[in-house]
DNA sequence: AATGAATGAGATTTCATTCAT
DNA sequence: TATGAATGAAATCTCATTCAT
């Protein structure tokens, strides 16, 4: 009975550090955030972080993994429950992506804010994680019925770029992530007045 | 005869520092780049940088300003020499933006890579510079003939996000900035197969 | 048993830094003393000082406070146990002041050696501390029976100036602080041969 | 015709540097003043100072010498034109000392503000200059008719300490240096109400 | 699990100084 | 005479990290 309680408490601690780190990485970037900043935000001393994470890069990696996990789970679930229409599937994926990204989850924002080059020691892992997640959009875009002269890669990267830019300008009151996703997809399907 | 040489030499020094700094800021981020790194890349000692720039933030600001200047000049020129068709004007602006961004100019890439939050002391100035540049796209997008239910802000931010994401994945051999711009605009006008 | 030892050790460390700093500030002035000098004198590395004091100015302030505390306590105690005669009370205060200043306490000497203008960032606090201490002499001098044409402020400042100058020339073997105090007061009461 | 003009101009430059340096040494101490500060106050670049002075310590020494010269000349002149009464001679010397010190001459204030320990490399010269000046007070105090139990050294150092402390608290409007000198001497001759 | 204390390297910045021009 | 540019050392301070407790 006491063991699970302990585990829970320890998990809470770890969670708390991860959350504080994620928030600070988003706000000031990886290089602009110090272990002391993270410790202070957590109410600990900086040495104490090292009981939970071996290094700053390991901490970043954990944050990044959690962000990728949240995004992946959301998109996977959206695709699993979405109908067959290719454009609707893309919109479902976009909506899932934006929902996680804009609902205040700092984890997901770290994934699109911190570039692998920011942490040379973790570069390879960060790239692998990001690619592994983005593969989903590869699949979905490939299924779209497009005119032959449309470059599917450009379309995919365009959508990803547009979506990953949203944390910079998004304001909660104005539009929901779902509405944004609809806008994005509709724009991609054609916005010109006839 | 000697005066211009002197001026040139001094300008070269400053220019050289700016270029090295820009490149490193792009590669490792602002916080991931040290003044020593910049000095080493320039072949100077780190103290010598301070003859030319008062602080690391002042150096970033100069780099940023140069980037904004390059982008602004290119877009302004493109718009000044472009025909009246609104979509063609947007494409001209996008092409100018992407050309500067992807032709190897690290200055412009700093503008889209370094976020104001990375340098708290320069935050306000960075935001002002960015906004002042992006105003151009406001104007051009406002002139587009769009279906009434299209949110022009979303369309503008979508395009900017897509374009500013390109340095992450662009590979020189595959497509030119001009081709990319055309793709982007075409996609925004409608890519769905009939 | 181990807790007090720990506390003691930590206090000792802080105390040691304060003492080394005080000695160096007295010998070479505030601006002539570097944190490295202080660290070396303490047997630490210069970075370690910052665990105990946030900045060089904060360290100076702590040294200054300790000096003011020592002086204040001594003078307060002297006045509390001195008789009612105003001149004897002034002499008691002067003796207390000189005793602390000349018994080798570097803390007190910092108070009279380092001028507020030496550390612009701490100027206001230094002035406040000094004034708060010197107020005691205001009170005691005000109680003296003086001829009406005597300017009490001048008398007070004369005595303070004379006393605070002593660390420059005092030599331990020649006269005791108590003797000096007696000389000072007697001189102020009249030294002219009849 | 042009040579003297040049000389004059050069002398002015030198004078200007000396004055700026003196003022800054008084305000922020020797260690708290940088060559750049002095250059800026003079309207030159820091490298240019080295045409006039070989080093920061040489500059301090020149300032100090000028201060000692001003004080010495004033006191010597006062003694040369003063009557024979020993106390009046002391008062004349004190008045000369205070007049120079408080009339806004930063040179003289440097002499009493900068301690030899502040500039280890110039220590010996600074001490020699100071001692050479203060010898005058030795002579004058020795001539005083004093009760046998009065320690002449203490009296002399008391007066010097009191006088050299005045720049810290003196306010131009309230009393003239001459009045202060009279107060000081009268206090030393006896202030106690009968 | 966490802390207090320290480390040592390295960050940004400042300094006195030099020197070609 | 003075400047612009640079130097190299040293200044203050911060950092990620370690470790005994």
Under DSSP, the state recorded for D146 is B
Touch test D–C: 3 Cβ pairs or more under 8 Å = yes
Residues 6 or more apart whose CB falls under 8 angstroms from that of B30 comprise: A29, A31, A32, B60, B114, B118, B119
Secondary structure element (H or E) that encloses residue C42, with its range: helix C35-42
The answer to the question of residue C187 being in a domain is: yes
> Containing domain of residue C121, as a range?
58-191
pLDDT < 50: residue spans in chain D: 1-6, 192-194
In whole angstroms, give the CA distance from residue C184 to residue D93. Answer: 20
Give B12→chain A minimum CA distance, Å: 28
Contact between residue C186 and residue C88 where contact means Cβ atoms under 8 Å apart: no
Residues 27-86 of B with CB under 7 A from strand F: 44-48, 51-52
How large is the angle between the packed helices A123-142 and A56-80, nearest 10 degrees? 10
Find which of A57, A145, A179, A191 to mutate to test the B interface (most B CBs within 10 Å of its CB).
Answer: A191
Residues 6+ apart with CB under 8 A from D24: D33, D37, D38, D41
Q: How far is the CA of A25 from the C1' of F15 (A)?
A: 16
Residues of chain C with a CB closer than 8 angstroms to some CB in chain D:
27-33, 87, 113, 115, 117-120, 145-147, 150-151, 154-155, 157-166, 168-169, 175, 180, 183-184, 186-193
pLDDT in tens, C32-67: 999 999 999 999 999 999 999 999 999 999 999 999
Which CATH number do you get for residue A102? 1.10.357.10
Q: Which residues pair with D27 in a beta bridge?
A: none
Residue D187 with chain C: CB contacts under 8 Å: 150, 154-155, 158, 188
Which residue from D minimizes the CA distance to C191?
D189
pLDDT tens for A156-165 read: 999 999 999 9
Token readout for C42 is 């303490």
> Per residue in B62-77, is it b (16+ CB within 10 Å) or e — as a string?
bbbbbbbebbbebbee
From the CA of D55 to the C1' of E14: give the distance in Å: 17
Chain B residues whose beta carbon lies within 8 Å of the beta carbon of residue A164: 161, 165
pLDDT category at C147 given cuts 50, 70, 90 is confident
Is residue A82 situated within a structural domain?
Answer: yes
Each residue's pLDDT tens digit, A135-160: 999 999 999 998 888 889 999 999 99
Yes or no, beta carbons of A188 and B188 under 8 Å apart: yes
For residue B7, what pLDDT is reported? 45
Mean pLDDT in each 10-residue stretch from start to end of chain B (194 residues)? 43 91 98 97 95 97 98 98 94 98 95 98 97 97 90 95 97 94 88 48
D3 to chain C, closest Cα gap in Å: 41
The residue count for chain A: 194
CA distance A156 to A145: 13
* Interchain CB distance below 8 Å, C175 and D119: no
Q: Residue C159 falls within a domain, yes or no?
A: yes
D28 touches strand E (CB under 7 A): no
Taking an 8 Å cut-off on Cβ atoms, the answer to whether A118 and B32 are in contact is yes
Of D117, D158, D180, Cβ closest to residue C28: D117
Min Cα separation A32/chain B (Å) = 5
Contact in structure between C190 and D189 (CB atoms under 8 Å): yes
pLDDT of res. D144: 93
- B114 closest CA partner among B102, B105, B127, B104: B127
Residue D1 lies in a domain: no
Closest C1' nucleotide to C35's CA: F12
Residues 6+ apart with CB under 8 A from A8: none
Task: State the pLDDT at residue C188.
Answer: 87
Residues of chain D in Cβ contact (below 8 Å) with chain C: 27-33, 87, 113, 115, 117-120, 145-147, 150-151, 154-155, 157-166, 168-169, 175, 180, 183-184, 186-193
For the entire predicted model, the pTM comes to 0.91
Of D8, D6, D40, nearest to D23 by C-alpha is: D40
DSSP state for residue C192 in the 8-state scheme: B
**Protein CB footprint (7 Å) on chain E nucleotides:** 1-21
pLDDT in tens, C71-129: 999 999 999 999 999 999 999 999 999 999 999 899 999 999 999 999 999 999 999 99
Contact assessment for residue C114 and residue C165, using Cβ atoms and an 8 Å cutoff: no
Strand F contacted by D179 CB (< 7 A): no
In a domain, residue B11? The reply is no
- Asked if strand E comes closer than 7 Å to B50 Cβ, the answer is yes
Q: How many CB atoms lie within 10 A of CB C150?
A: 18
What are residue C89's phi and psi, to 5 degrees? -65, -40
CA distance C156 to B43: 61
- Structure confidence at residue D190 (pLDDT): 62
User: Å between A58 CA and E3 C1'?
Assistant: 22
Written as one string, the DSSP assignment of B120-181 is GGGHHHHHHHHHHHHHHHHHHHHTS-B-TT--HHHHHHHHHHHHHHHHHH--TTT--HHHHH
D50 belongs to a structural domain: no
Q: Is A191 in Cβ contact with B154 (below 8 Å)?
A: no
Question: C25, C27, C32, C173: which to substitute to probe chain D, counting the most D Cβ within 10 Å?
Answer: C32
Q: Judge if the beta carbon of A45 is closer than 7 A to nucleic acid strand E.
A: yes
Which residue of chain A comes nearest to B150, CA vs CA? Answer: A191
Burial per residue of A69-98, b for 16 or more beta-carbon CB atoms within 10 angstroms, e otherwise: ebbbebbeebbeebeeebbebbbbbbbbbb
The predicted structure's pLDDT at residue C10:
61
Write down the pLDDT at residue B6: 41
In angstroms, the CA B22 to CA B105 distance is 9
**Inter-chain touch A165–B184, beta carbons under 8 Å:** no
Tokens coding D34: 């940088």
| Residue of A23, A24, A29, A119 to mutate, testing the B interface (most B Cβ within 10 Å of its Cβ) | A29
- Which nt has its C1' nearest the CA of B5? E21
Strand F bases within 7 angstroms of protein beta carbons: 1-21
Q: What is the pLDDT at residue B12? A: 83
> pLDDT below 50 — which residues of chain A?
1-6, 192-194
Cβ contact A35 with chain F strand, < 7 A = yes
What's the CA angle centered on A116, arms A110 and A121, to 5 degrees? Answer: 115
Whole-angstrom distance, CA of residue D100 vs CA of residue D110 = 12
Report the residue from C27, C155, C187 with minimal CB separation from D158: C187
In a domain, A16, yes or no: no
- Please determine, for residue C11, whether its predicted confidence score (pLDDT) is greater than 90: no
**What is the model's pLDDT at position B3?**
36
pLDDT in tens, B63-117: 999 999 999 999 999 999 999 999 999 999 999 999 999 998 999 999 999 999 9
- Per the structure, the count of domains in chain A is 1
Short-list D105, C55, A106, A153, CA closest to B162: A153
C66: number of Cβ within 10 Å: 20
Mark yes or no for CB contact B29/A115 under 8 Å: yes
The reported pLDDT for the residue numbered C4 is 40
In the predicted model, what is the mean pLDDT of chain A? 92
Using an 8 Å Cβ cutoff, are C151 and C87 in contact? no
Q: Is the CB of B182 less than 7 A from some atom of nucleic acid strand F?
A: no
B84: in domain: yes
Could you tell me the distance in Å between the CA of residue C32 and the C1' of nucleotide F8? 20
Minimum CA–C1' distance nucleotide for C31? F11
- Residue–nucleotide distance: A47 CA to E4 C1' (Å): 9
Q: In this structure, is the CB of residue D33 within 7 Å of any atom belonging to strand E?
A: yes
Distance B122 CA to F13 C1' (A): 21
**Interchain pair C87, D117: CB under 8 A:** no
């Amino acid at each position: 009975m006491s063991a699970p309680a302990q585990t829970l408490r320890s998990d809470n601690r770890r969670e708390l550090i991860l959350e504080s780190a994620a928030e600070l990485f988003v706000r000031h970037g990886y290089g602009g955030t110090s272990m002391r900043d993270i410790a202070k935000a957590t109410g600990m001393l900086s040495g104490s972080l090292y009981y939970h994470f071996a290094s700053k890069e390991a901490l970043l990696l954990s944050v990044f993994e959690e962000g990728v996990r949240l995004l992946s789970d959301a998109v996977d679930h959206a695709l699993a429950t979405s109908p067959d229409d290719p454009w609707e599937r893309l919109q479902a994926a976009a909506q899932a992506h934006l929902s996680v990204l804009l609902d205040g989850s700092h984890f997901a924002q770290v994934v699109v804010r911190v570039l692998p080059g920011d942490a040379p020691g973790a570069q390879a892992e960060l790239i692998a994680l990001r690619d592994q997640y983005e593969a989903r959009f590869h699949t979905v875009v490939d299924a779209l019925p497009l005119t032959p002269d449309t470059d599917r890669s450009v379309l995919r990267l365009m959508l990803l770029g547009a979506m990953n830019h949203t944390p910079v300008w998004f304001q909660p009151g104005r539009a929901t992530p779902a509405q944004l996703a609809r806008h994005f997809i509709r724009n991609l399907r054609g916005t010109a007045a006839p």
